[in-house]
Amino acid sequence: MPLICLVRHGQASFGAHDYDVLSDLGREQARAVGRELARRELRDPHIISGSLTRQRDTARLLADAAGFTEPLCEDPRWNEFDHVAVLRRYPDPGLPRTAADSRAVQDVLDRALRSWMEDTDETATGWAAFSNNAATALTELSATLGKGRDAVVVTSGGVLAGLCGTLLSIPPAGLIALNRVTVNASVTTLVSGASGTNLLTFNDHAHFTGEQQHLRTYR
């Protein structure tokens, strides 16, 4: 049965002028997860990413490190939600005046995310539309993979949480908890078979333990 490895992008540039750029550590994480995927001996892997810079660059770096030669495909349905738009839509007086404190920003974002997820908005900007787009992209990808082919998808934490919520029927509080602990360049593995697509592992980051534990980051 085809395996689908969902990889969270490497660390982005929090607090910088352009967040959507991999940090030096993020590039190192991308190469490390590429070596891990090579170790797994995936079968003729199809490589796809969202269209965000941090996702595309992670995909290219991991593919080079793994020795994957297939051209990279892009699909914006794997893109992360716009966290700035979510914060504006559900403002919180506790939002820090500076973006320097990533933990404080994460706390505020968690509250805004919960409001977004619980909102009954059925437009294209609602949580339901965001998570459904990712689920549709996954369904279409699963359908294109033959029995002897696997896939690697580089995406983001919000997409991973949304897909886990869809597959496991997890409520908003659980989705936020998943999103908060997802490690940069971790691997979430799905198996696609006759019974549908099922979750095998979530947030696997064993490649960031021991001598490589300095590569483990969450934001």
- Segments making up each domain of the chain, as ranges: 3-215
Alpha-carbon 213 to chain mean position: 20
Distance between CA atoms of residues 219 and 11, nearest Å: 6
The SS3 assignment for 100 reads coil
Residue 97: predicted pLDDT: 54
Residue 15: predicted pLDDT: 63
Distance between CA atoms of residues 209 and 204, nearest Å: 11
Spell out, as residue ranges, where the chain has pLDDT lower than 50: none
> Fold for domain 3-215?
Rossmann fold (3.40.50)
